[in-house]
Amino acid sequence: MLKNLIRLSCVLPVMLLAACNVSSRLDDGSGGSGGDATLTADRSSYLVGEVATLTPKFTGKVARIDPGLGAVTSGVAVKTPALRDNTEYKLVVGTGADAKTISLTLQVRFRNSYRVLDQTFAVSQHAAVALADGSVLVSGGSRGLSILSTAINRFDPVSQGWTQLGVLNNGRSEHQMTLLASGKLLITGGNLNLAGGAAAELFDPTTGISLVQGAMLAQRLHHTATLLNSGKVLITGGSTGEGFPGGTSNTAELWDPATQSFTPTVNTMTTARANHNATLLSDGKVLITGGYNSWGTVQYAELYDPLTNKFSPLAGGPAALPALQTAAARPDGSVWLLGGENQQSTAGVRIAYQYLPSTGALSARSDIPLAQSAAASVVLGNGDVLMFGGYLDATAITNQAQRIGANDGSTLANMPSARLGHTATRLPDGRVLIVGGQNGTGTLQSNVLVYE
């Protein structure tokens, strides 16, 4: 049976920042360009969103700090942009073959607390996407009205306020919103007010206009929409009107920005699935995992190859995968599959798997602290994953959160209230915007949170 997608215990102590500076030094004994150079930071560590002050000292006339700070003068301090992750800066003294480089890594961590923003925004089962300018778009969803919302709103990370940017042609919830290379957004499927779930739209945030893109080949709810390296969008599975047992589908289709139309893939997926994951891999293929079908939790993982436009089973791996997992594509090319729940939706699981490009297979990794499913998540620059809310043990909507690292995991501070059907989006300064959802009584959560 399909479960609709509507799902931080102990508080970690925040370490005091050391007052001392941290520096890196180069002394090559040459006395020339780069000899006896130092790069010093004003603090030993920083909180997410803070700015560091760096002071270079060197002999010679020419030096720069990479990345992005440019030419510098010895003894003159420069400021970094807001720090979102551990960041390495390099002082390059001199030019060409004689250039000398020293590196300094700034340590950055979260405060492990939530800030409630002044402006409220009540919504659930919406879609949220971060744009290139750092703003966040939120479309549709349930907003406490008698019909689903058509509104498209923009969150400004500078003013930390909301404005309405446009209007959907059809109010919808539990849909997919995919950011394209052009900066436009393809909006597909979901529950719709006036039309079947096959309706699609193309929204341009520069004009605020959303144009109807015709219809997908099937109406889809709880499907996936993944941007491929070619610019096409792969749309898979979901609960459809195609007459499959249990309402789930094994079909897939491609949206082509050149023709702005949908075409079927050469073959279907290995199995029907909904509430599953489709993760773009570093080689351009797509890893399809988990989900539900009429027989319960889907037992197979598979790969989509855009060169052949075909699906094939993934060799090896676990006999069964949970549904409502968190799938996280990490900077090193691996994919983590975290948590989820069993096929009866009666128990959450703490098990986790990883896909490694070097092996092309799924294997078990260490369990995670909380049995979370349908969580909202973000991936950090070091590959760690933050998971917020959703279901705990498959039954209770939770306010808990956790951080999963390469070698460990830990619970985070609890959110002020439980949330399901919410979104988590990383902001330019590294903080995390948490929007909407509903609590265990079905009440919309209007407080907008920033995890920092």
Cβ–Cβ < 8 Å for 131, 152:
no
Q: Is the dihedral of CA 281, 283, 284, 286 positive or negative?
A: negative
pLDDT at position 292 is 85
pLDDT of residue 441: 93
pLDDT at 196: 66
d(CA 34, CA 91): 9
Cβ partners under 8 Å of residue 202, min gap 6:
184, 185, 186, 187, 210, 211, 213, 260
At 314, is the secondary structure helix, strand, or coil?
coil
* Inter-residue contact 39 to 54 (CB < 8 Å): yes
Fold of 114-451: Neuraminidase (2.120.10)
Q: How do strand 310-313 and strand 70-71 relate by DSSP bridges?
A: unpaired
Query: What averages of pLDDT result for each successive group of 10 residues across the chain (452 residues)?
Result: 33 36 57 68 97 95 95 97 97 91 96 97 98 97 95 97 96 96 96 80 96 90 96 94 71 96 96 93 95 73 97 83 92 96 84 93 94 97 97 96 96 98 98 97 96 98
How far is 348 from 375, CA to CA, in rounded Å? Answer: 12
Residues 116/120/125/128 CA torsion (nearest 10 deg): -70
Task: Give the integer Cα–Cα distance in Å for 158 and 391.
Answer: 32
Closest C-alpha to 269, from 246, 243, 290, 241: 290
Q: Is 102 helix (H, G, I), strand (E, B) or coil?
A: strand
Domain extents in the chain: 22-109, 114-451
Burial class (CB in 10 A: 0-12, 13-18, 19+), 75: exposed
pLDDT given at position 19: 39
Identify the pLDDT of residue 268.
96
Q: Concatenate the DSSP letters of all residues of 341-390 into one string.
A: B-TTSS-B---EEEEETTTTEEEEEPPPSS-EES-EEEE-TTS-EEEE-S
Query: CA 378 to CA 388: how far, in whole Å?
Result: 9
- Model pLDDT, residue 82: 97
In one letter, which amino acid is 146?
S
pLDDT tens by residue, 122-155: 999 999 999 999 999 999 999 999 999 999 999 9
pLDDT of residue 369: 97
Task: Return the CA Rg of the chain.
Answer: 24
Q: What pTM, to 2 d.p., does this model score?
A: 0.91
282-289: Cβ within 8 A, 24+ apart = 282/333, 282/357, 283/357, 284/228, 284/229, 286/226, 286/228, 286/234, 287/314, 287/327, 287/335, 287/355, 288/224, 288/236, 289/321, 289/325, 289/327, 289/337, 289/362
442 vs 420: CA distance, rounded Å: 9
Report which of 285, 296, 387 is spatially closest to residue 336, judged by C-alpha positions.
Answer: 387
* Separation CA 308–CA 320 (nearest Å): 27
Residue count of the chain, please give it: 452
Cis amide leading into 313 (omega within 30):
no
* Calpha distance 124→435 (Å, rounded): 8
The span from the first CA to the last CA of the chain, in angstroms, equals 37
Distance separating alpha carbons of residues 8 and 110, to the nearest angstrom: 14
Tell me the CATH number for domain 22-109: 2.60.40.10
Cα separation, 284 vs 220, in Å, equals: 24
